[in-house]
Amino acid sequence: MAEKMKLEGSMVALVTPFRNGEVDYDALARLIDYQLEGGTQGLIPCGTTGESPTLSHDEHDKVIEFTVERAAGKVPVIAGTGSNSTAEALRLTRHAKDAGADAALIVNPYYNKPTQQGMYEHIAAIAEVGLPIVLYNIPSRTGIELAPETIIRMYNEIDQVVAIKEATGKIDNASALAAGCDITIISGDDALTLPICSVGGKGVISVLANILPSEIRALCDAILAGDLQSATEMHLRLFPLFKAMFVETNPIPIKAALSMIGMIEDELRLPLVPLSQKHRPKLAEMLKSFGLKVNQ
């Protein structure tokens, strides 16, 4: 088997900032720079947090191109290029490769509900593009779950499969993967980063890192250094904010938080709407407790 790409540490699922209905590239540049300054070790544009379902194909392509250009090779760019149509995922992945992305994040094909064999063949087809693949197992969004045995088979038989963003919420899944093969396991849920890494995970693709990149980097550094006491203390301090990012559907809360500190406009695309007023005072107080300057 060929040597596989290694990913680890604190990676961010970037939001896609909007202004007046259009992608706000000035805000995206600020956000990427903020991530690089804060020590984030990988950028993931056009994932769930990036509202990829409501980006046009042209916008999707341009956001990936812009992220690659702004990152300037300082950290890997893992482009969200999944789709429930294999042909569409192939086109998006080819574009990401041409744009200079380092890897592709491929979500389970949602809505169609393919079999395990169908998902295997979907990934095998995308692998022909030649870009390293990070599988994205998130049944709460897709309605289907990649079984651990399918993931292990993919890793062992498809050279381009290098990692998995594990977002099933099941620690047993991460344990089964770590016991069954050498695939890089990355938490897809901030609140489960420490537990998943305790059974073999290597980092997180984080929502909260959009606003607290240095804190998530410090957490991952402590975990990977084996400093369980420090990692646990950081995890418990961050835990209320981890949960606050999901009081409504992601990326609604993180966009509210970013707007509160003046990083982006609080704008989403329908059918998503801004965070309800009842959650805003508590979120603002939590951000202040981490030393962030909140606009009133």
Active site residues: 136, 165
Nearest to 191 by CA among 247, 135, 110: 247
Q: Which two tokens stand for residue 214?
A: 């240095």
Give the number of C-alpha atoms closer than 13 A to the C-alpha of residue 272, restricted to the C-beta side. Answer: 25
Measure Cα distances from 22 to 33, 55, 63, 75 in Å.
20, 10, 12, 26
The answer to whether 238 touches 215, Cβ cutoff 8 Å, is yes
- The C-alpha atoms of residue 15 and residue 27 are separated, in whole angstroms, by 10
The answer to whether 139 touches 173, Cβ cutoff 8 Å, is no
The answer to whether 253 touches 244, Cβ cutoff 8 Å, is yes
Long-range interactions of 195-201: CB distance < 8 A, separation 24+: 195/171, 196/166, 196/171, 197/223, 197/224, 199/171, 199/174, 199/175, 200/174, 200/175, 201/166, 201/174
The answer to whether 191 touches 242, Cβ cutoff 8 Å, is yes
Kindly report the length of the chain: 296
Q: Which two tokens stand for residue 78?
A: 């893992």
- The C-alpha atoms of residue 248 and residue 240 are separated, in whole angstroms, by 14
Nearest to 209 by CA among 7, 15, 63: 15
